Every structure is written in structure tokens, then in C-alpha cells.
Amino acid sequence: MTGTAAPAALAAHATLAASAPGAISAPPIEYSQLGPMLVVFGAAIVGVLVEAFAPRPARRGTQLALSLGGLAAAFVWTVVIAASRQVFANGSPGHTAIGGAVGVDRPTLFIQGTIVVLAFISVLLIGDTRFSPFVAQAAAPPGATAEQEGLAAGAMHTEIFPLTLFAVGGMMLFPAANDLLTMFVALEVLSLPLYLLCGLARRRRLLSHEAAMKYFLLGAFSSAFFLFGIAMLYGFSGSVSLAAIASTAASNTSNSTLLFAGIALTGLGLLFKIGAVPFHSWKPDVYQGAPTPVTALMASCTVVSAFGALLRVFYVAFGNLTWDWRPALWVIAVLTMVVGAVIAITQTDVKRLLAYSSIAHAGFVLTGVLAVSTAGLSSALFYLVAYGFTTVGAFAVITLVRDPGGEADHLSRWAGLGRRSPVVAGIFAFFLLAFAGIPLTSGFTGKFAVFQAAIASGETALVIVGVLSSAIAAFFYVRVIVLMFFSDPVPDGPEVVLPNVFSGTAVGVGAAVTLLLGIAPQPVLSLASHAANQLFVG
């Protein structure tokens, strides 16, 4: 084709395509309802451009402002959607946007809002460069001269901010995904940046690398199982849409092998992200090896997001098959609570301790999931909020207690901390009490709500196991508190640095929410039950 022939041929082709019966008509894209996610992804992409074009000294401030601004905007937008009369007109449970790929409903919006706020706090921790826990030059081998130069120059990988935003975007999409393909893509979008971020610790870099690789290999392994489960469900129903799977499951009872294989394998993939026993083995290692702000992000946002996805899949797609998956999930919930609580007793590292506590808490949330009722859903949502804020605050405190070489991770270093800096030790003790579920903390309210919902659904045995493992868990939390307040300080004990505005905000918000949800939980409880009143859209 030369000269004038080319445009003419193109035009002819275009008219042909437009008039052809198979011409693609673009699907409606509800930008206003996808806004929160688009804002976060957009901020991440702008962040990449900042990396490319902004001068190095300006990058950190720009990235921090961009990330925090994007997350704040996403939160405001989420609230606006939740309050919108248009989406939830006439008691509608919500809307499936962009060709049914994304569900916009109240539980999802509640989860997304929680994720955005928790991510905001985690980004504050990431942005605290005073004792940056991130490596100066990831490409330089540990101990190399290039690493020393990077440390001396105060270099920082500001790519961490866009990576975090990508992960947060994936986390927001994960519970909103209304078909399994979108959910799989979201799972990868949230996982890949986290794999990378895990390997960027400044100190004990070999441990950090190992954490990244372990997380990556096991994560890829579990996502392969998740994918095979999707394949089975697709084979069962001929579609990956959650609603289509549910309707096929209701009508077609002949081909249950594929369906059950699909439920088991997708469940396995989701339970891995949550860290339920027996898919928990990555959690302690990864939590210990990752830089503490990234651990805070994973412990709060990833868990919330994965529970959102689990709730959506099991309530929407497998909602009619409660009797089939409930026993299996029951066993997993019991195992998760008991194993998490028992193994935590033997831990000597603070971050590992919190990792096992996170496993145990996943078991408590599973109790709420197992209730399979609006009360169960709302209690699980409330628990996720309560746990998320407490854990972010606890990890923020860990960043403050420092040895000359880095954070004082080993529990023995924390001995007598209460005498040397009573405020920080007191706040940490308060978080631990919240984890243990002592009254006047959010942990108590959350556990109470979850157990109440479970009993209402006739899961009394599960609640008994839950209460017993809470008691076991309380033992080791109290042990740490005793260690901090009633044992002699170690001679060259860790220094407690004064929190600056970033870590101070993180600790403060965590503690305030933990206290508030313990004393006056009603607003959030009613918000959660309002959100859960209408289940997920299908």
C-alpha cells in the first residue's frame, strides 16, 4: 500500500468493521463507581513517572505526598459512593460495574474503605525515613562498598511508594472482583509488589531476601492452586462470574466433582493469603524478614482484603452450598485458632509473635465467616477493622524500639522496657491486651461480636474452642507484658526513639481506634451491620 491507497483502505476497513455483525460495542464503564481504585492506580502510575522525571532530592517528598493524597482521595471517594443514593437506589444491594467485573456494594465499600485507611497509616510508616528500614541500594550485595556508599548518601528507593500503591490497588480490587478472572488478576496485582517489598529490608538483608523468596514461591504455588480451582469452576459452569457459578450450582447437581474440586482449590488459594493453618507456614518467616512497615501493610491490609475476597466467593458463589464447605472451613478455623495460639507461646521474636497472633486472629475472623449470616458478616467486618488498626499500631511501636543495629526484635531485649520508657511500653501493652481480647479494647468487642454471631448460627463448639484459644493467647500476651514491666531492664537495652509525626500518627491512630472501639464501638458496629445488611451483589 502506498500513497493515497492506504488511508482509503483503512477507511474502508473501518466502515467494514463498524458495520460487521460481530463489531465490538464498548461496554459501559462506570468511572464514578470505580473511582477509588482508579485513583490509587493512577497515583501509582504518576509515581512511576515521578521516578523517571523528578530530580532525586525531590522524589521522596513528592512520592509521599502523592501516595497519601491518592489514598485520602480514594477514601473520600469510597465514602461518597457508599453514601450515594444512585447506586443503592430503592434498596438495591449494589451494582456490578464494567461488564460485571467489579461489584460495588456496601460490604465491599466497607472493606475498601478499611484497606485505604490502614494503607494510609502504613504509608506513613514507610515514609518515615529517620531510621529507614528500607535498603539504600537493593542492587548492591550486602556489605558491598556500593551499599555503604548508598547508606552514607542517604539513598532511598522511592519506587517503594508506587509499588505500595499498586499493591493497595490490587487489595481494593481483590474483594470487589465479581468474576474469578478479575479476582486472580487482582490477587497477582496485590502479591507481586509485596514479594518485592519484602526483600528490601535494610538490615539482615539475607533474611529479608529469604523472606521474599519464600513468600514468592509459596505465593505462586498457592495462586496456581487458586487458578486450577478457577479452571474447575469454569468447567463446571462455563463461566467465571460468581453469580453464574452460584446459579449453575443451584440448578445442576449432576456434576458436583468439578464444583467441589473448584471450591477446595479456590478456597486453598484464598486461605493461603489469609494465613490459615495449614497454609500459614510462610507467615512468620515473611513477617520477620520483611521491613516492618511492609509487615504492617501485610498484616493489616492484605488480611482484610483476602478476607473480603473469601467472604465474597463463599457467600456469593458458594452461598447455596453452605453445608458442603462449612465442615471443612470449621476444621480449618479450629486448627487456625489453636495452632496460632499454641505456637505463639514459644516465640522469642516480637515480629514472629505478632505473626502467630495474626494467624490466631484469622481463625477468629473465620468463626464469623462460618456463621454465614448477616450478623456473621458484620461481625467479621468489625473484627477486621479492629484487628487492622491494632496490628498497625503494634508494628509502629516495634519500629520505635531500637538497638544500635536496627529494631530490637528479640523479646529478651524488651525486658524491663516498661521501667525505661513507660509510655511506649504501656501503649504496646495496650495493643497486646487488645490482641488478647481484654474488655475496654477493640479486641474484646470484636471477639464478642464474632462469637455472638457464631452462637446465633449454632456454632457453639467452635466458640468454645475460640474462647479456649483466646485464653491460651492471653497467656503469652500477658507474659510479654510481665516481661516488659516486672523484670529487670537489660543493661545495654534498646533505645526507645521519640516518635516523629509519621510513626507518632501511626501509633496514635492505632491506639485511639483500639480504645475507641473498645469503649464506644457502636458507631462502627452499626456501620458494619449496615454494610452487611445487604450482602454482596452477585
Q: In sequence order, which residues have a C-beta less than 8 Å from that of residue 375 and are 6 or more positions away?
A: 452, 453, 456, 457, 529, 532
Indicate whether 25 belongs to the interface with other proteins (CB under 8 A): yes
Stretch that binds other proteins, among 125-133, 235-243, 459-467, 468-476 (CB under 8 A): 235-243
- Cα torsion through 137, 399, 123, 75, rounded to 10: 170
C-beta separation of 121 from 505 below 8 A:
yes
- SS3 (DSSP) at 266: helix
Find all residues with CB under 8 Å of 284, minimum gap 6, and list them: 347, 352, 355, 356
Under the criterion CB under 8 A, does residue 71 sit at the interface with other proteins? no
- The least CB distance from residue 19 to other proteins, in Å, is 14
User: Does residue 325 interact with other proteins by CB under 8 A?
Assistant: no
Listed in sequence order, the residues at least 6 apart from 332 whose beta carbon sits closer than 8 Å to its beta carbon are 271, 276, 277, 278, 366
Contact between 142 and other proteins per CB under 8 A: yes
Which residue, 99 or 319, is less far from other proteins as judged by CB?
Answer: 99
Q: Does residue 70 belong to the site contacting other proteins (CB under 8 A)?
A: no
Residue 161 touches other proteins, criterion: CB under 8 A: no
Decide if residue 174 touches other proteins (CB under 8 A): no
Task: Tell me how far apart the alpha carbons of residues 37 and 28 are, in angstroms, rounded to a whole number.
Answer: 17
Work out which of 33, 35, 39, 41 binds other proteins, going by CB under 8 A.
41
Q: Is 15 a binder of other proteins (CB under 8 A)?
A: no
Q: Which of 32, 129, 235, 515 binds other proteins (CB under 8 A)?
A: 235
* Degrees, nearest 5: CA angle 538-280-71: 55
Minimum CB–partner distance for residue 497 and other proteins (Å): 26
489: amino acid identity, one letter = P
185 binds other proteins (CB under 8 A): yes
Figure out which of the listed residues 50, 125, 171, 196 binds other proteins, where binding follows CB under 8 A.
196
Residue of 232, 276, 415, 473 interacting with other proteins (CB under 8 A)? 232
Q: For residue 96, report the phi and psi dihedrals to the nearest 5 degrees.
A: -105, 115
Residues 410-429 that bind other proteins (CB under 8 A): none
The answer for residues whose C-beta is within 8 angstroms of residue 227's C-beta and 6 or more apart is 184, 269
Q: Which is nearer to other proteins, 58 or 153 (CB)?
A: 153
Which of 75, 77, 195, 476 is close enough to bind other proteins by CB under 8 A?
195
139 forms part of the interface with other proteins (CB under 8 A): yes
Q: Is 188 exposed, middle or buried (0-12, 13-18, 19+ CB in 10 A)?
A: middle
Q: Find the binder of other proteins among 140, 294, 396, 513 (CB under 8 A).
A: 140
**Least distance from C-beta 536 to other proteins, angstroms?**
17
Burial (Cβ within 10 Å: 0-12, 13-18, ≥19) of residue 13: exposed
Of 159 and 407, CB closest to other proteins: 159
Confirm or reject binding of residue 145 to other proteins (CB under 8 A): yes
Residue 99 lies near other proteins (rule: CB under 8 A) = yes
Task: Report residue 68 as a C-alpha cell.
Answer: 497519601
